[in-house]
Amino acid sequence: MYYGSHPTVLDDKGRITVPKKLHELMERSDHITWYVTRGYKGCLYLYNLPEWEKLVSRVAALDPLDPKAHDFLRLVYGCAMDVKVDRQGRMPVPAPLRGFSGLDRDVVLVGMQNHLELWRKDAWEAYQEAKGAEFEAMATELLVRVQPSAMPREKGGHDDES
């Protein structure tokens, strides 16, 4: 699982150095190839192969004759590029996607459980500041929708029979 905010730097060759903790997780999980595409709020989404395949399956259900769906498909697939993390933990970020997201030297990889996001450092900080005040209300509204039986239980808890 990918989590946390990991500051890093975009070098002159358009590569980021994946922080050691993330790079080790990628290697253990055999997540060497990543699919990078446009994300929300100006960030980039990075999916490992199994998660990309899940996204492709979901997107395949869209009707390509629906103009809104067609536009979405065009933006997701038309901007997607696959990249590989090298042994030193460097990941290239394709120039068109760097342009879309306005990436400069200081960037942040944000873990989103099953994928990563790549943000300009200042944009990530501004997003956190803007949304931070809404966090309690978001948590209350969204977590109320999740039924306790649907939430994973911790091993060793009082509900655990093992």
**With 90 as the cut, is the pLDDT of residue 133 above it?**
no
- Say which residues have a Cβ less than 8 Å from residue 97's Cβ, sequence separation at least 6: 36, 37, 38, 44, 79, 81
- Tokens linked to 33: 């190839």
CA angle centred on 27, ends 155 and 110, rounded to 5°: 75
Q: Is residue 15 part of a domain?
A: yes
pLDDT above 70 (res 156): no
Supply the mean pLDDT for the chain. Answer: 91
Q: Which domain holds residue 19?
A: 5-120
CATH number, residue 58: 3.40.1550.20
Domain assignment present for residue 138? The answer is no
Q: How many domains does the chain have?
A: 1
Q: How far apart are CA 84 and CA 143, in angstroms?
A: 36
Per the domain annotation, does 27 fall within a domain? Answer: yes
Q: Could you identify the residue written with the tokens 């060793």?
A: 156
Does residue 42 fall inside a structural domain? yes
Phi-psi region of 123 (alpha: psi -120 to 50; beta: other; left: phi over 0): alpha
Residue 67 lies in a domain: yes
User: pLDDT tens for residues 57-107?
Assistant: 999 999 989 999 999 999 999 999 999 999 999 999 999 999 999 999 999
Q: For residue 73, what are its two tokens? A: 């498909």
CB 118 within 8 A of CB 93: yes
Q: What is the pLDDT of residue 162?
A: 39
Domain contains 113? yes
**Under 8 Å CB-to-CB from 149, ≥6 apart: which residues?**
none
**Within a domain: 36:** yes
| pTM attached to this predicted model | 0.86
Q: Does residue 103 lie in a domain region? A: yes
CA-nearest of 11, 5, 32, 6 to 103 is 11
Give the span between the Cα atoms of 123 and 144, in whole angstroms: 29
Q: pLDDT at position 35, please?
A: 98
